[in-house]
């Protein structure tokens, strides 16, 4: 196998991996708030969803954690997202953890031998345990990076809310010690803080996903890892 063929296989393998985690990050459109009542519980379901979307849109950072189901597998997510700049954290696919960092137009991934053997076979030994740098314009990576943009995700939330298709206000409850109210739609449930800022706190999907969002506006440091192995096109 030539050098070019080797990189071509790695490119296809990486693209498949990135596409597999799109849902994991894409559903991470919700999560944290605080103190006094904000009056959100008395509003219609669509208004609650819109308020939650606006609160998230204004957030500079948020921590996303939980699990989703995609392609027959459970994907665990533990990411800190900085709006408009990037993200860092860990995703676990098929039981294998993958470190992920995005900074501007670059995506960096690092995984062990077992992960790469699972997704890329023997070729995985070329990048196992190393940071792999990929330009986000690369197929798969561009969609992945876009879903780490809070504003892009909020757009979907707002479009859904203002469409008012089947949105129903649910019961009030407590999420991690904070008062919240549910907005449901088609088997999905979004829990929004009823005290402090109306941040989304939790998202349950009809597919079995369970996502928490928290630590809004806390400092998150982003830096490109070093050294890196550059993926073709990076």
Closest by alpha carbon to 27, among 161, 170, 190, 165?
A: 190
Q: Decide if pLDDT at 69 tops 60.
A: yes
Contact of 142 with 15, CB cutoff 8 Å = no
- How distant, in Å, are the alpha carbons of 13, 133, 180, 189 from that of 116? 9, 15, 41, 35
Residue 153 is predicted with a pLDDT of 52
Rg, the chain, Cα only: 19
Q: Give the total number of structural domains in the chain.
A: 1
Mean per-residue pLDDT over the chain, rounded: 75
Question: By C-alpha distance, which of 70, 104, 112, 67 is closest to 87?
Answer: 104
pLDDT band at residue 126 under the 50/70/90 scheme: confident
Query: For position 150, which CATH number holds?
Result: 2.50.20.20
Contacting residues for 32 by C-beta, under 8 A, at least 6 apart: 62, 178, 193, 199, 201, 213, 214, 215, 216
What beta strand segments (E) does 10-72 contain? 61-70
**In this predicted model, what pLDDT tens digit does every residue of 47-63 receive, in sequence order?**
888 888 888 888 899 89
Q: What is the DSSP letter of 231?
A: P
**Full domain range(s) for residue 63:** 3-230
How many whole angstroms separate alpha carbon 73 and alpha carbon 224? 29
pLDDT band at 14 (very low <50, low <70, confident <90, very high): very low
Each residue's pLDDT tens digit, 165-211: 678 899 999 999 999 999 888 777 889 999 999 998 988 877 777 88
């Amino acid at each position: 196998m030539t050098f070019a063929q080797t990189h071509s296989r790695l490119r296809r393998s990486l693209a498949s991996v990135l596409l597999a985690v799109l849902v994991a990050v894409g559903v991470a459109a919700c999560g944290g708030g605080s103190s006094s009542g904000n009056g959100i519980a008395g509003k219609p379901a669509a208004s609650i969803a819109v308020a939650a979307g606006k609160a998230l849109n204004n957030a500079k950072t948020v921590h996303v954690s939980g699990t989703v189901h995609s392609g027959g597998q459970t994907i665990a997510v533990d990411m800190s997202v900085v709006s408009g700049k990037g993200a860092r954290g860990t995703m676990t696919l098929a039981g294998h953890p993958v470190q992920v960092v995005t900074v501007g137009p670059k995506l960096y991934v690092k995984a062990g031998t077992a992960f790469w053997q699972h997704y890329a076979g023997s070729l995985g030994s070329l990048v196992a345990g190393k940071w792999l740098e990929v330009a986000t314009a690369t197929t798969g990576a561009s969609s992945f990076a876009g879903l780490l943009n809070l504003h892009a995700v909020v757009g979907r939330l707002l479009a859904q809310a203002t469409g008012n298709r089947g949105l129903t206000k649910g019961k009030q409850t407590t999420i991690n010690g904070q008062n919240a109210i549910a907005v449901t739609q088609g088997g999905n449930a979004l829990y929004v803080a009823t005290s402090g800022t109306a941040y989304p706190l939790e998202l349950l999907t009809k597919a079995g996903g369970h996502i928490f969002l928290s630590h809004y506006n806390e400092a998150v440091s982003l830096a490109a890892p070093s050294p890196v192995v550059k993926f073709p096109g990076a």
